[in-house]
Homo-oligomer: A and B are copies of this chain.
């Protein structure tokens, strides 16, 4: 299907291509145009019906959007912006260079320009910057029939009609009603009598993390956004929430791997940008490792007399780091999903302690069997290594389980208390335990 269309376009059979293209979902139209020669993109974009062109535009890559805006006339820009939902306009303007933004703003009417400027001013990732204004507004005095007539008249330009919002004269939010309830109710019933008054709403300043939590908790497909006076100013729809969830997770993955979070796709991020995001934490962690170096230097003599001790350092450090990272990952994730609260610290410590005793014992026993019987390491050294593993696992899991909660209490992002930082801390702890055990048991 899509290959056929590409062929039609290449043969310059644009009208035929158009007729096939409009049968597709706008997402797929955008994807087809992504694969077409630039000169043909413009031709095809122009002969598509304007509402389809606008929807497809909102699904295009930023590069393609930019190319189109830079190539089309002022009049065409006006039509596209007019057809776009405001949240899609904001999304794309946020990624465009200043000259493109200027060209767009120049070609929108006063009201829209004011709105765009207002939305661009909301803090990034706040409800204000995510919401859109194309919602259905009803009054409580309307009958169901009047409400449905109102929707018929205005619904075409709304992002969703599945939930309608009931406001008073001063635009204060009074209730919500689903299209389902409207359709299933009798024509003469008043909206005020059947609307849901227990409205769960978002404030313009709410962070996207909180928004995602609310959507997940209530299984909504859209939610109203209100200002400080509880006046309705916009709505957020679930498709944006899905993007938010992905973005929040990506940020956590990046922070947990000691990087500055970035919203850009890996393959589209420049080498310099990637390096810039990675260097700070690597430097901090590298310099922190001075500490472990100093511990080893302190026990230089012990090492010199029993050099084999050095050969277990990597295993001990890695095991401690991994054990701690397991605990911290579960706690970080639990906090992110709202399953773990700040006052659960006691429960977590007790749980991690019990888990770590089991895990530590098994690792210590397996290690002892392996190095004493298979590698023929001396008995007392095998004992030193195994005791160190046991104690390291316990400490690693307690450190790993508690630091994310402590970070959250200090209003830091728990995700920074992940593998890299935990590993650096646990390394030092593991070495201290190891050398303490070695000097006392081996009498060094």
Binding site for B on A (CB under 8 A): 23-25, 27, 148, 151-152, 155-156, 160-162, 179-180, 183-184, 197-198, 200, 215-219, 221, 238-239, 241-243, 245-246, 249-250, 252-254, 256-259, 265-267, 271-272, 274-275, 278-279, 281-283, 285-287, 289-290, 292-294, 296-297, 300, 303-304, 307-308, 310-315, 317-319, 321-323, 325-326, 328-334, 337, 339-340, 344, 347-348, 351, 354-355, 358-359, 362-363, 366-367, 370, 375, 389, 393, 419-420, 423-424, 427, 431
Q: Which residue of B lies closest to A281 (CB)?
A: B322
**Residues of B with C-beta under 8 A to A272:** 358
A362 close to B293 (CB less than 8 A): no
> Do residues A221 and B221 form an inter-chain contact, with CB atoms below 8 A?
yes
The CA-CA distance from A246 to B334 in the complex, in Å, is 11
Q: Which residue of B lies closest to A257 (CB)?
A: B329
Assess A300 versus B296: contact at CB under 8 Å? Given A322-B285, A423-B318, A427-B314: no
**Distance, CA A59 to CA B81, complexed state (A):** 41
Contact B242 A340 (CB under 8 A): no
Instruction: Show 8 residue pairs from A and B whose CB-CB distance is below 8 angstroms, ordered by the A residue.
Output: A219-B242, A250-B333, A279-B359, A282-B359, A290-B375, A293-B311, A303-B303, A321-B423
> A323: which of B197, B282, B331, B334 is its contact (CB, 8 Å)?
B282
Contact A315 B289, CB 8 Å, known A23-B198, A179-B162, A355-B275:
yes
B296 touches A311 (CB 8 A): yes
Q: Give Cα A41 to B225, complex, Å.
A: 34
| Cβ–Cβ contact A238 & B221, under 8 A | yes
- For A330, give its contact among B184, B266, B332, B424 (CB under 8 Å): B266
State the CA gap A322–B285 with chains docked (Å). Answer: 9
Give the number of copies in the complex: 2
Q: Let me know if B300 and A307 touch, CB within 8 A.
A: yes
Known: A27-B219, A267-B351, A278-B355. 15 other contacts (CB 8 A): A25-B198, A27-B218, A151-B184, A161-B180, A216-B243, A245-B245, A249-B249, A253-B329, A257-B326, A272-B358, A274-B351, A282-B323, A282-B393, A293-B311, A321-B321
Report Cα–Cα, A300/B310, bound state, in Å: 9
Residue of B nearest to A151 (CB): B183
A262 CB to nearest B CB, Å: 9
Contact in complex: B155, A183 (CB < 8 Å): yes
For A151, the chain B residues whose CB sits under 8 A away are: 183-184
Q: How far is the CB of A239 from chain B (nearest CB, A)?
A: 4
Q: Please tell me if the beta carbons of B152 and A183 are within 8 angstroms of each other in the complex.
A: yes
Residue of B nearest to A220 (CB): B239
Contact partner, A241, options B148, B242, B317, B370, Cβ 8 Å: B242
B residues in contact with A24, CB < 8 Å: 198
Tell me, in angstroms, the Cα distance from A258 to B250 when the chains sit together: 19
Please state if B337 and A250 are interface contacts (CB–CB under 8 Å): yes
Q: How far is the CA of A105 from the CA of B287 in the complex (A)?
A: 63
Q: Which listed residue (B23, B183, B424, B427) contacts A179, Cβ 8 A? A: B183
Complex CA distance for A314 and B319, rounded to whole angstroms = 13
Give bound CA distance, A351 to B271, whole Å: 6
A275 and B339: CB pair below 8 A?
A: no
Residues of chain B with a CB closer than 8 A to A311's CB: 293-294, 296-297, 300
Name the residue on B nearest A337 (C-beta). Answer: B246
- A318 contacts B285, CB within 8 Å? yes
- What B residues does A308 contact at CB under 8 A? 297, 300
| Residue of B315, B333, B348, B427 touching A286 (CB-CB under 8 A) | B315
A383 to B354, CA, bound (A): 45
Most buried by B among A198, A200, A267: A267
